[in-house]
Amino acid sequence: MEPSIASPRVAEPEVASPQRRLDAFTHARLWKNPCGFAARFNYLALRYNQPLYGWVEERFGLSRPEFVILYSLGITDGVTASEIASSTAFPKNTLSRAVGVLAKRGVVRRGADATDRRAQPLHLTPAGQDLLAEAMPRFVALEEEMLEPLSLIEREQLSMLMAKVVLGMFHAGDKGE
């Protein structure tokens, strides 16, 4: 039962000079791990979300699920709370609450679906668009910073490989399970 991803050569030099025990442990978590791939994307997710949502919290006073709603609307305007819930795996009551907060702030507006009176398609207000416009560059910038060690070609490769994995999960999960 070998690790499905071999520890790559690029990692080895680091092992030689661990500055502290902590570095050594973090290093072990990332490289000496039967689930190396999982450890790595979890690490990336952590190091990406932690600072960004921390900043969103202190800059706008918005919690993570609240901001996720804005972000979702930025991608697909008119999406409903349930859809965001299903897609992001936040529980729907959490999102319901969040929508309430956002509506009270005037950054989101609850619309009405013509064909289904239960559904509430959500829309960004101009204020919401402004807020999102201020926040997005940070998100883009940190991603850019993360990818900085890679050349353009490598980014393309990485993108393509991740795409394959994600699509696999997407199909397996949304339909199969």
Partner interacting with residue 104 (select from DNA, a second copy, none; CB below 5-8 Å by kind): none
Would you say 10 or 104 has its CB closer to a second copy? 10
**Cα distance between residue 164 and residue 162, in whole Å:** 5
How far apart are CB 161 and DNA at their closest, in Å?
29
CA distance 56 to 51: 9
32, 97, 105, 109: which one binds a second copy (CB under 8 A): 32
- 63 contact, one of DNA, a second copy, none, CB 5-8 Å limit per kind: DNA
Binding of DNA at residue 56 (CB under 7 A)?
A: no
Report the 10 Å Cβ neighbour count for 23: 12
137, 156, 160, 135: which is closest to 147 by C-alpha? 156
Give the whole-angstrom CA distance, residue 112 versus residue 86.
20
- List the beta bridge partners of residue 172: none
CA distance 149 to 2: 28
Nearer to DNA, 117 or 175 (CB): 117
Residue 134 touches which of a second copy, DNA, none (CB < 5 to 8 A by kind)?
Answer: none
Give the one entry of DNA, a second copy, none that residue 157 binds, where binding means its C-beta sits below a cut-off of 5 to 8 angstroms depending on kind.
a second copy
Q: Could you tell me which stretch among 58-66, 76-84, 98-106, 122-130 binds a second copy (CB under 8 A)?
A: 76-84
